[in-house]
Structure 1
Amino acid sequence: MLSAYGHSWVYGTGARRHSEGFVELAARELGVRLNNQAESGSLSTETARLVIAQPPAPADVFVLMTGFNDARLQGPAPAGQRQYEESLEIVFHALAKAGPEALVLAIEQPYIEDYSGHPPYDQGSNAIVDGYNAILRSTVERFPFARTVVVDGWDAATMLAKDNVHPNDRGHAVLARSLVGAVRSTGRGDVR
């Protein structure tokens, strides 16, 4: 079982068909059942509240991708970054409790081309996304069962939908390939 948490990219937004979202593609490639708990438009705080209100079911692999909406809403505000780190801690603890032997893969957020659209979610930049990814990496280091995933081959110029916020089919395919590669590189090709 692969269980996924996070924002609209995890939900599958931007793909022509929901079934072509990257966690759907990855689950099919790995031959596993998918439990997609992502919520479109969610902040990391909402993902943290979700895992408290509805503790995760056991899974072999958990996927987390969150923080993009936080970065676009909060910009460089230190309070937003602290809230993100606190939310990650809550989520990682909940996932560890649900599956002590499970692998947790936290996907670093790729860039988009233009952060100025969709107010009030217009406060981001590549530098701010880098800061949130750095927080993700430093938090993951405190959890031995967790790994970060860098999306290999991402190209914002060709992999975003027309809204310039969500991945298109090509973007979802690259995300899926990175996720599958991360699972297989850990020797967890036997997830069910």
Structure 2
Amino acid sequence: MKLALPALSLALAASVAAQFYNESAAFQLVLISDDPSVNGDTLSACHSGAAIEALCLSNSNTTSKPDPIPAASFHFNFSDSVVTPNETLGQPGILTYWLQTSTTPIPSAVELYSDPTTNTAIPLFYPGADRATTMAFDENDMLNIQGYINYSTSPPTAGNTTAYYRWWACRIYYIGYTYEALVWVEGPGEPETPRCAKVGVKRVFI
């Protein structure tokens, strides 16, 4: 059954409702930026707690990751039962990663972790997909988050699906771990954290 537009927002908010069971081929995530210090770098999964991983820059040098590490392999899970509002902007789904352990791999999905005292959210992989944030890859394989409400008007207006590309590379702090990692800016401005680099996130299949 196809979801109507009013119901689509619920599917975009909760992966359980969307049932994103279809898994894509493996790919890496490559950063595109005007900043040469990060342009062309890849993203890795960096330990940030019990079965929690941040999307750190593979070649970065920080307290918690002093040396380069290999790029991680990711997947994109999608659903046949969720309408794609705009094919050019991409099919809604969730970004997933198989965390390797000494026993069995743990399926994980990205959720944006928000701290209400700042304007950036950290994409973190948590086990399962109950709280995953819905994302998409557009026709150029660039990662985005879509919304159909325009908050720049008063009152906000709804109806047109828009893709947002508010990705930056910043130094992050999360429960004692410090990385140079991918962050999402909540709103149209720049990150509060100094010396961040604006990036695009491109999917490159392996």
TM-score grouping bracket, smaller chain normalisation: under 0.3
> What's the TM-score, normalizing by structure 2?
0.26
Q: Which has the larger radius of gyration?
A: 2
